[in-house]
Amino acid sequence: MANTAIPDHFTTQFARNFELGLQQITSRLQKAAIVETDCTGEAKTHNKVLAVSDNESTGERYGDTIWQELETEKRWIRPRKFDLATPDAPFDEKLLAPTILPGGTHIQLHQAAYGRRTDRVFIEGLFGANWKGKDGTTQTDIPSTNLVADTFGYDSNSSCGLTVDKILHAKAILTDNESYGDDARARGISLWGVMTPNMEESLLRLANAGSTGAGNRLFSKDFMPPVLDGDGNISYFLGVNWMRSTLLPYASGSATIRYGAIWTSDAIYLDFWKVAQTTVSVRADKKNATQFFTEYAMNACRSDDLKVVRIACLTLVGA
């Protein structure tokens, strides 16, 4: 009778599994961006044509035609490169296989680091300085008009957390500057928002605010109560798709005021020059230890500063 058992000295090949596993984006925020992969070169530009204005005709026969030059703007993204290397005990086929499987310890750790870095890059592109101009050397920032202050709301004398009033005001800013509205919705544009768990707690506490106007409005049918997921987290509220992140920035010089944001679905570009790829090798110079090495390159920017609104919120004490 033939022996069909696989001898112990045969090793399983996992190289293809590594590539497929690590190409699955685990970022929480990536879905709220316009993503492009396989970028090349030292920089990438996102170009747009600015608005033009018409001229009132005087009715003059054979009058001169007045041309309007099309003005353009370039947003520049330059790749940021990252890598991660972790070692393991000297190579052994039997002992090493569980760690290099797609669900193994090293792969899980590398995936998690990749996901967190993707979110950090996204957040820096969302809130931070962007670059434009002919050579990409002109800094551009979100204007002060696109900020909902920490004191905004029914009690404007003191700072407060995330409230219905702040969300409504942020949407009004986007509508007023033509970033969002009927035209945008007709083109399939939607709204995304990000908040910390602390901001979400602040918003949900309004439901227990007794007879106050803010408490009544949160779950009022007139204001379309928030859609909660199975864990009680807000996933959709006031026309905004909500996500949570613990990586959001604090206001400059403050340890208690933190920024959330609302933006249009066409506001953020997230470009990848290289998605995460892992190689596994034996390091003869390290007594044959096995090295797991992952590298990737990416960056993010806004398509237009007016399409993002920052919301300053007070962090709840003890959170």
Taking only the tens place, the pLDDT of each residue in 280-292 is 888 888 888 888 8
Domain that holds residue 189: 147-268+304-314
Q: Round to whole Å and give the CA distance between 118 and 159.
A: 31
Confidence at residue 74, expressed as pLDDT on a 0 to 100 scale: 87
The three-state secondary structure class of 292 is: strand
In 4-83, alpha helices (H): 15-22
Confidence at residue 95, expressed as pLDDT on a 0 to 100 scale: 57
Residue 201: name the closest of 158, 246, 239 by CA.
Answer: 246
Tokens coding 218:
């949160």
Confidence at residue 319, expressed as pLDDT on a 0 to 100 scale: 46
Q: Round to whole Å and give the CA distance between 287 and 90.
A: 7
- In a domain, residue 278? The reply is yes
Sign of CA dihedral 121, 122, 126, 130: positive
Confidence at residue 112, expressed as pLDDT on a 0 to 100 scale: 87
Write the DSSP string, 74-116. EEEE--EEEEEEEEEEEP-HHHHHHHHSTTSHHHHHHHHHHHH
Confidence at residue 110, expressed as pLDDT on a 0 to 100 scale: 87
Q: What does the pLDDT look like over 8-58, one tens digit per residue?
A: 544 444 444 433 333 334 689 999 999 999 999 999 998 877 676 777 777
Residues 6+ apart with CB under 8 A from 3: none
310 and 295 in a common domain: no
237 and 296 in a common domain: no
206 and 122 in a common domain: no
Q: What does the pLDDT look like over 180-196, one tens digit per residue?
A: 999 999 999 999 999 99
- In a domain, residue 65? The reply is no
257 and 128 in a common domain: no
Regarding pTM above 0.85, the answer is: no
Confidence at residue 70, expressed as pLDDT on a 0 to 100 scale: 66
**pLDDT of 147 above 80:** yes
Confidence at residue 271, expressed as pLDDT on a 0 to 100 scale: 96
261 and 119 in a common domain: no
260: left (phi over 0), alpha (psi -120 to 50) or beta: beta
179 and 310 in a common domain: yes
